[in-house]
Amino acid sequence: MNRSRRFVLSFCSLVLLTSILTLSARSVFGQLSSASLNGVVRDTTGAVIAKANVILSNVDTSVERVTTTNDTGNYALTDIAPGRYTLKVNAPSFSTKQVTQFVLAVNQTATIDISLAAGASTEVVTVEASAQLQVSTAELGTVIATKQVNDLPLNGRNFTQLLSLTPGVAPISVSQNNMGGRTGGFAAPIAEGTEFQFPAINGATNRSNFFLTDGLTNFAAFLSTYAVPPIIDAIQEFKVVSHTDSAEFGSVLGGVINVVTKSGTDQFHGSAWEYIRNDAFDARPSFLPVSAKKPSFRQNQFGASIGGPVMIPKLYNGRSKTFFFFGYQGFRFSQPSSTNILVPTDAQLNGDFSSLLTGSTPIQIYNPFSTAAAGSGFTRQAFAGNIIPSTLIDPRMVAYAKAVFPAAGPFNPATNSNALDTTPNTQQQNEFNVRIDQNFGSKDSAWFRYSRINSTVNVSGGLPNLIKQEAIPRSRLGWKLRSHIQSES
């Protein structure tokens, strides 16, 4: 009995320890997608004020974070979701000071020092927020905010085009940016006909960068790119860290691209979009014959997003507590190809290869069934006039060839072809991102996110009726639990 009890206790302890380590690891990585705020509270003489109340309020969600200053007047709030905030500080026998709206960005450590004047706590003094200098870390990076992400035009809505807006980033052209020549991407899904960049950062190679989403890995290791491209309307902001001296950015020689996805707010917000490219809007190619029809072209990129509080009528009101955000994006592409190919003529399908005997380099064909040993080699009998007897032709293979090959046209010696493969290149992408945020109080919260993309490309396999399909499915799952048993300081 004692032995069984010890085994059960040991097993439970192991499970508990594993859970703690797992949550701790998640918390460490999750801090990369959050911000921090610290400072010192003093009176007008410069003396520190202990036990002052510090309240940080999110403008969009009304969620509050509360802490108190320690004996040296210092306060610190960590693991803050990036966004717009106000700060209020009060203490007994001092007037209340409120800092107007300011922004905390991803992976930012901001410092706001507060000076309280003697007076009643009901007296509120409002001050404008000054620029938030990051003096607590040596990290060097640039934040691309929501307005830039949403307002700047992007061909194909790929956020990597915005990376070049940051200092130290140099777009380069290497085979990686060609995705190994593979249509629609290789390690990462790429929309056909759109622009993207995987640049060099601070002189390192573009295979030395690392991609994060909400502080968790979003990395396709084969070509050092993203695994799931975030939807533009689901991005709150992202930061390009070009000087990665902090411990959390270990193993990275280049830059770190850290994307934060949007969460819902206290108000419902949504968007919808449709981007169209069509041959109806295109000019005719300059050298296209007047009698020829303009080649068809179709490209549609569309989607929608919505976010807000979770509301279940008569059951649950999630304002200031539970929020959701959902985004979907689809992409459809179709463009015919025009590849020169060489196919059998009708005469050749009937066994007549006499045309090969004409020209400066005549070609003689031989009967493989007449192969005979001759000394150290072999001999074969030539087909008279390069014509294969009908008795040696399998009609089933002729029917197969007619089904696979297009009809032969005039021979073009410049391209060594007599037919065109016009199989269209098509691509279909479907992507979605869903996020749930839950606030249990001023010190406890959790979020969950799931992102997925399916990209399917159909191209010619070398013949009009032979289709080659390339599929790139990718998904990423992330969550985080923030729990503070003791008050922050």
Query: What does the pLDDT average to over 136-148?
Result: 74
Asked if 156 and 303 count as a contact pair (C-beta separation under 8 A), the reply is no
pLDDT digit string (tens) for 251-278? 778 888 999 999 999 999 999 999 999 9
- Between residues 284 and 279, the one the model is more confident about: 279
Local confidence band at 309 (pLDDT 50, 70, 90 cut-offs): very high
- Whether 10 has a pLDDT exceeding 80, the answer reads no
- Between residues 303 and 196, the one the model is more confident about: 303
Q: How many CA atoms lie within 13 A of 447 on its CB side?
A: 26
- Whether 29 has a pLDDT exceeding 70, the answer reads no
Euclidean distance between the first and the last CA atom of the chain, given in angstroms as a whole number:
47
Give the rounded percent of residues in the chain with a pLDDT score beyond 70: 84
Ranges in the chain annotated CATH 2.170.130.10: 140-338+424-483
pLDDT digit string (tens) for 96-105? 999 999 999 8
pLDDT value at residue 486: 36
pLDDT digit string (tens) for 313-346? 989 999 989 999 999 999 999 988 888 999 999 9
Which region holds residue 350: left if phi is over 0, alpha if psi is between -120 and 50, else beta? alpha
Strand pairing class (124-127; 96-104): parallel
Query: What does the pLDDT average to over 214-231?
Result: 84
- Whether 407 has a pLDDT exceeding 80, the answer reads yes
Which region holds residue 55: left if phi is over 0, alpha if psi is between -120 and 50, else beta? beta
- The span from the CA of 381 to the CA of 383, in Å, is 7
pLDDT value at residue 350: 93
Query: What does the pLDDT average to over 186-214?
Result: 82
pLDDT digit string (tens) for 419-449? 988 888 999 999 999 999 999 887 788 999 9
Local confidence band at 131 (pLDDT 50, 70, 90 cut-offs): low
Query: What does the pLDDT average to over 335-358?
Result: 91
- The span from the CA of 80 to the CA of 37, in Å, is 8
Query: What does the pLDDT average to over 205-229?
Result: 84
pLDDT value at residue 485: 43
Sequence-distant (≥ 6) Cβ neighbours of residue 219 within 8 angstroms: 210, 211, 212, 225, 226, 227
Sequence-distant (≥ 6) Cβ neighbours of residue 447 within 8 angstroms: 214, 263, 435, 436, 437, 438, 479, 480
pLDDT value at residue 479: 86
Local confidence band at 68 (pLDDT 50, 70, 90 cut-offs): very high
Q: Which of 52, 249, 54, 37 is nearest to 136 (CA)?
A: 37
Query: What does the pLDDT average to over 153-181?
Result: 77
- Whether 2 has a pLDDT exceeding 70, the answer reads no
- The span from the CA of 322 to the CA of 308, in Å, is 9
Structure tokens belonging to residue 159:
């956020």
pLDDT value at residue 483: 67
Give the rounded percent of residues in the chain with a pLDDT score beyond 90: 42
Q: How many CA atoms lie within 13 A of 111 on its CB side?
A: 9
CATH number, domain 140-338+424-483, options 1.10.10.60, 3.40.50.20, 2.170.130.10, 3.40.50.261: 2.170.130.10
pLDDT value at residue 375: 85
* Phi and psi, residue 134, nearest 5°: -95, 95
Q: Which residues of 347-362 are buried (b: 16+ CB within 10 A; e: fewer)?
A: ebbebebeeeeeeeee
Q: How many CB atoms lie within 10 A of CB 446?
A: 14
Asked if 214 and 220 count as a contact pair (C-beta separation under 8 A), the reply is no
Q: How many CB atoms lie within 10 A of CB 458?
A: 19
- Whether 114 has a pLDDT exceeding 70, the answer reads yes
Which range is most confident: 28-37, 379-388, 464-473? Answer: 379-388
- The span from the CA of 184 to the CA of 165, in Å, is 25
- Whether 462 has a pLDDT exceeding 90, the answer reads no
Q: Average per-residue pLDDT in the chain?
A: 84
Asked if 232 and 150 count as a contact pair (C-beta separation under 8 A), the reply is yes
Query: What does the pLDDT average to over 305-310?
Result: 96
| Least-confidence region, from 35-39, 243-247, 371-375, 413-417 | 243-247
- Between residues 199 and 303, the one the model is more confident about: 303
Local confidence band at 196 (pLDDT 50, 70, 90 cut-offs): confident
Q: Which fold has domain 29-127?
A: Immunoglobulin-like (2.60.40)
- The span from the CA of 425 to the CA of 461, in Å, is 11
pLDDT value at residue 24: 44
pLDDT value at residue 484: 56
pLDDT value at residue 77: 92
Ranges in the chain annotated CATH 2.60.40.1120: 29-127
Q: Which of 59, 96, 98 is nearest to 81 (CA)?
A: 59
pLDDT value at residue 172: 77
